[in-house]
Structure 1
Amino acid sequence: MEGKRANDRRSTEKSPRCVWVPGPVIVGAGPSGLAAAACLKGKGVPSVILERANCIASLWQLKTYDRLRLHLPKQFCELPLMPFPEKFPTYPTKQQFIGYLETYARRFDIKPVFNETVECAKYDRSLGWWRVRCVGMKEETEYVCRWLVVATGENAEAVEPEIEGVEEFRGTIVHTSSYKSGDAFEGKRVLVVGCGNSGMEVCLDLCNHNAQPSLVVRDTATSQASQGLGGSCRVAVHLLPREMLGTSTFGLSMCLLKWLPMRLVDRLLLIVSWLMLGDTTRFGLNRPRLGPLELKNLTGKTPVLDVGTLSKIKSGDIKIYPGIRRLERYTVEFANGRREIFDAIILATGYKSNVPSWLTESKMFSEKDGLPRRPFPNGWKGEDGLYAVGFTKRGLLGASMDAKRVAEDIKLCWKDEAKHFTPFSSSFSSQS
């Protein structure tokens, strides 16, 4: 009898607690998830946010460097229903933006369930519900809901590319998600891999802390992606001034696109950039064949907005190198055959979606990159009550647009459908 009771207890322990949610479940408590919850609340629809970290906006709070600011003016980065405080600067700091998000959550009474890692979300066609299984600090929980909003975004997991010889390298190798400040690299020779906004800013930060940074810039359109970071020696990046003609470059672009075709706007941007920045090819920064807006529209690759890094490149404080061929003990061999000694390598190689690792659905989201298959502006809605917020490749502005669409769509049917559901007990054993 005691053995039977022990087996019963073990069986019960393995069965997850089940929670019925009358409204949508939102996965992710970053800006996208907060925006979705606030818009839903504005429509009278309750929701539950599940967040694997112990705080909102964990990417911003835990995995960004100290000097980070918003790259775009604040009016293009505010979430729905609440503008930034007027006293904030045009480009709010990291801490100001985090403060804004915390105030946003308080204002709309958004209280995510923290430390809940979603392991599997699948649609149960026999019941017409989504079943979202999570692992928490102490127990497993299965959330049952009619609507599922994926708000984990494009930057859920750090991308750390394979580099030949990485196990031989005796220096420090870190991803920018672990980089805070150049303090730890004072006096050291540091190679920054990746020439996006993060890579450029990290190089500038290293210069300001008396390090000796170099930058790997490669043309991903012509490089051999299957061979780590090697490939073509031709390097390419669109470097634009953060502001031109007395206004933000992004704002000017948005304005011009209302009246002019994209290719003409690209030409104007490149002409003004050449007048302001000079010929960047002289410093190893060739431009891609496609214009900055067209490239962004087709591939999602964001132009780099210069905040002072180019002057350091021009002065020789930051050196430019092509792709990496391999690493040795203290040496990096580049694609052009050149070899240099470095004390540390910082991978500014970006992030990726992690949706395929937990969502058992392949019609809406691509299994290859974890992004919606349908391009913007049609990637926000799938089948069976599945939605996406924050996968537009258009930053916070795109996430806000998604959140508004999702809330409006769910509002149209949730009250009628909720009448047909009977709430379960907050805790019971579920069948897989």
Structure 2
Amino acid sequence: MEQAVVVVGAGPSGLAISACLTVHNIPHVILEKEDCIASLWKKRTYDRLNLHLAKEFCSLPHKPFPVNSPTFLSKREFIAYLDNYVSSFNIKPNYHRTVELATYDEVGKKWRIRAKNTQSGILEVYVADFLVVASGENSEANIPELPGLNSFGGEVVHSNQYKSGAAYGNKEVLVVGCGNSGMEIAYDLSNYGAHPSIVVRSPVHLGMRLLPYLPVFVVDFIVILMAKVVFGDLSKHGIHRPKKGPFHIKNITGRSPILDVGTVSKIKTKEIKVGGHAKNKNAREGSEKGEEEG
């Protein structure tokens, strides 16, 4: 099967590429290993998730969000937007396709992509001028190696399996990772009456939603200054800030700053405990959550 472009992944990035190619009448195909678009959003996100960026910075090409939609969309609203986006541009991914190999022929100047149809078991070969890999930076779960995890008697759940804290009321829960997901999951657990502790492995930036219309170094300065004013000294609560600004760190390491949804106030009131690193805990009850960030 020969196409001008093969796109791997039907998440937001893959859909955006497809829409742009469609607008310019460029033949292409999307290969998606799951049975739906945006599988991370539809299958592996928690219930209370909202976009952490304003809608103006999250819309896909050629289709802005409706004017009357909220500034920070809920998970459900964003999924509905993506479904509508697919309909608007008549995007039809080839589902159940797992890409096994992609090689570039220097002589023929073509990509050869081998994909397996996981429903039929048939191997398919696609030939294309261009290959776009849009599988996403969070497509695979990262399970940390924790001391004593194999002997732990409680429930172990990765954040991509977590939906809400409803099942964890009055339980001790260790959240491993203090990225945006870890901090928000700890907050959600506390709201449902659980007793969460969160592992903060390294210094983190806690920030608020600010207008991103200034140079990075200016925004970094403002974020650091405002965070000190709003949150105060958090070191006594186990949270330390890096010396460099949050967006400088994002550019260098890829790690995003944490946007507080109410977790800090719960840490200050000790509704959420903070620890420095995961330790061997031979508890027989409670839950332990591995989380990919932090």
User: For 2:288, which of 335, 341, 345 is the aligned residue?
Assistant: 345
Q: 1:304: which partner in 2? A: 258
CA shift, 1:124, in A, is 2.6
Query: Which consecutive unaligned segments of at least 5 residues does structure 1 have?
Result: 1-18, 220-235, 243-248, 332-341, 352-432
Hey, what's the Cα distance between the residues in 1 that align with 2:106 and 2:217?
46
Q: Secondary structure at the match of 1:255?
A: coil
Q: 1:196: which partner in 2? A: 179
CA shift, 1:159, in A, is 0.7
Task: Return the letter of the residue paired with 2:103.
Answer: K
User: For 1:57, which of 31, 38, 46 is the aligned residue?
Assistant: 38
Hey, what's the Cα distance between the residues in 2 that align with 1:42 and 1:207?
47
Contact 2:113 2:126 in 1 (8 A): yes
Query: 2:200 aligned with 1:217, yes or no?
Result: yes
Cα deviations by residue, 1:243-290 (Å, 9 ceiling, x for unpaired) = xxxxxx1xx2x2121xxxx43432222111222222222311110121
Q: 2:208: which partner in 1? A: 241
User: For 1:142, which of 101, 122, 125 is the aligned residue?
Assistant: 125
Query: 2:270 aligned with 1:316, yes or no?
Result: yes
Q: Secondary structure at the match of 2:151?
A: coil
Q: How does 1:209-288 map to 2 (within 5 A)?
A: 209-219=192-202, 236-242=203-209, 249=210, 252=211, 254-257=212-215, 262-288=216-242
Q: 1:67: which partner in 2? A: 48
CA shift, 1:20, in A, is 2.1
Query: 2:101 aligned with 1:120, yes or no?
Result: yes
CA shift, 1:168, in A, is 0.7
Hey, what's the Cα distance between the residues in 1 that align with 2:106 and 2:194?
58
Q: Secondary structure at the match of 1:26?
A: strand
Contact 1:175 1:347 in 2 (8 A): yes
Q: How does 1:86-105 map to 2 (within 5 A)?
A: 86-105=67-86
Hey, what's the Cα distance between the residues in 2 that align with 1:317 and 1:172?
21
Hey, what's the Cα distance between the residues in 1 that align with 2:176 and 2:233?
23
Q: 2:282: which partner in 1? A: 329
Q: How does 1:73-84 map to 2 (within 5 A)?
A: 73-84=54-65
Q: 2:15: which partner in 1? A: 34
Q: Secondary structure at the match of 1:324?
A: coil
Q: TM-score, normalised by structure 1?
A: 0.65
> Bigger radius of gyration, 1 or 2?
1
Query: 2:2 aligned with 1:20, yes or no?
Result: yes
Task: Return the letter of the residue paired with 1:154.
Answer: E
Percent of pairs with identical residues: 47
Q: 2:191: which partner in 1? A: 208
CA shift, 1:127, in A, is 3.4
Contact 1:241 1:276 in 2 (8 A): no
Hey, what's the Cα distance between the residues in 2 that align with 1:347 and 1:165?
13
Task: Return the letter of the residue paired with 1:307.
Answer: V
Moved over 6 A (4+): none
Hey, what's the Cα distance between the residues in 1 that align with 2:220 and 2:282?
44
User: For 1:153, which of 107, 119, 136 is the aligned residue?
Assistant: 136
Residue-pair matches, total: 292
Q: Secondary structure at the match of 1:146?
A: strand
Query: Which consecutive unaligned segments of at least 5 residues does structure 2 have?
Result: none
Contact 1:241 1:277 in 2 (8 A): no
CA shift, 1:126, in A, is 4.2
Hey, what's the Cα distance between the residues in 1 that align with 2:106 and 2:226?
56
RMSD: 1.5
Contact 2:180 2:293 in 1 (8 A): no
Hey, what's the Cα distance between the residues in 1 that align with 2:268 and 2:158?
26
Hey, what's the Cα distance between the residues in 2 that align with 1:282 and 1:102?
46
Cα deviations by residue, 1:110-146 (Å, 9 ceiling, x for unpaired) = 0000011111111133433211111111022111212
Hey, what's the Cα distance between the residues in 2 that align with 1:145 and 1:99?
31
Hey, what's the Cα distance between the residues in 2 that align with 1:328 and 1:277?
31
CA shift, 1:171, in A, is 0.8
Contact 2:178 2:293 in 1 (8 A): no
Query: 2:25 aligned with 1:44, yes or no?
Result: yes
